[in-house]
Structure 1
């Protein structure tokens, strides 16, 4: 049976339903967190494959890797890094306010996170558009005359695979956080006993941020 508890903003937040196979809500929430940590571990393994490819090809084609890295827009990459790191702060604040039952503030913090995520994707769109225009494309589609070194097409293959996969994770994270924002805004669901959904969504978003923290120096600062 689902009960309820008063929150800091005056609304009544329901306590999550306890599944039959858990002894308590604490155990149930711990299991949810453990499941998320295991899922995040598989995500790290996914990106680890790309990092291995990056390391191998950079060792084989160091001159091409350095030249291609200098062709990227460092300013846009830096701005995107700042935007994404800041979005992790607002995602963490959403968890903080969810624990206090301040559902309106949860919605505000998630909205700020989503706004910065959109900004990140817009900047990445302009980067992609420029690369399509000048021909710094992956594999056999590469036709940029400014860098004619063996390995240059491979660099942009890794670049597009890594950043596109990361961008997909940004979109997924936006969907997850957006669902939490709707629950906070319309139903006032979150409180001291019911904030796991926001916490798990924030954990996923921190992974998105962490992956970019590795991608930025590897791709832009070679």
Structure 2
């Protein structure tokens, strides 16, 4: 009886060990799973901005007796702001090159420059909003201004989120190094930042340049 019990225990232990070996998962994170998920997020963000652009296309000429874009927009200021964001995309590219070379100091340097340029962009956008509201051209003035503040403001919130994400990574990199996980986060932020640049090019062309046309 004791021999049978020992045999059963031995078989049960072997089966348990075999089951454990069979179902042991070494990596719970599927390869390229984060990047795929982030691409899906960017596609949903495309739908968000597409709806905002569509709203502006419909409402962009409804001034309700108020000022038009030709009267409000300062193209020189907007051009400077556009330059800040486009150059920040280049500096982020330098940060990615440095990260791929495992150069932590240069990665941090270029991320810092990117963050400063993004903050300058955001500061000028806030100044523009403040100036418009001070002139009495707030979002409640007309359908045109409602659509304008919704579209440009949503883009500005995305830039703010990108800056917060960038600062978080700048704290993580010295602590953990340029690990595969941090490289994956940098790659996602890089896609996000370049996506915002592309959206802003459409904003600059569709809202500002076309907005000053009679």
TM-score (norm 1): 0.76
For 1:105-156, what per-residue CA distance to the aligned partner results, in whole angstroms no more than 9, with x for missing partners? 11111101110011011111211111111111123xx2xxxxxxxxxx1111
Q: 1:169 and 1:21 mapped to 2: Cα distance?
A: 27
Could you tell me whether the CA contact under 8 Å between 1:90 and 1:110 is conserved in 2? yes
* Larger gyration radius, structure 1 or structure 2: 2
Report matched runs for 1:133-148 at 5 Å: 133-139=134-140, 142=141
Counterpart for residue 180 of structure 1: 169
SS of 1:189's equivalent? coil
Moved beyond 3 Å, runs of 4+? 60-67
SS of 1:184's equivalent? helix
Q: 1:135 and 1:194 mapped to 2: Cα distance?
A: 46
Counterpart for residue 86 of structure 1: 87
**Alignment partner of 1:110 is 2:118:** no
Counterpart for residue 19 of structure 1: 27
Could you tell me whether the CA contact under 8 Å between 1:69 and 1:221 is conserved in 2? no
Q: Which runs of 5+ in 2 are unaligned?
A: 1-25
Q: 1:124 and 1:89 mapped to 2: Cα distance?
A: 20
Q: 2:172 and 2:121 mapped to 1: Cα distance?
A: 25
Deviation at 1:190, TM superposition (A): 3.8
**Alignment partner of 1:199 is 2:187:** yes
Paired residues in the alignment total 185
Counterpart for residue 3 of structure 1: none
SS of 1:221's equivalent? helix
Q: Which runs of 5+ in 1 are unaligned?
A: 1-17, 23-27, 143-152
Counterpart for residue 35 of structure 2: 33
Change in CA separation of 1:179 and 1:67 when aligned onto 2, cut-off 3 Å: same
Q: 2:201 and 2:110 mapped to 1: Cα distance?
A: 22
Report matched runs for 1:18-167 at 5 Å: 19-20=27-28, 22=30, 28=31, 30-58=32-60, 61=62, 67-139=68-140, 142=141, 153-167=142-156
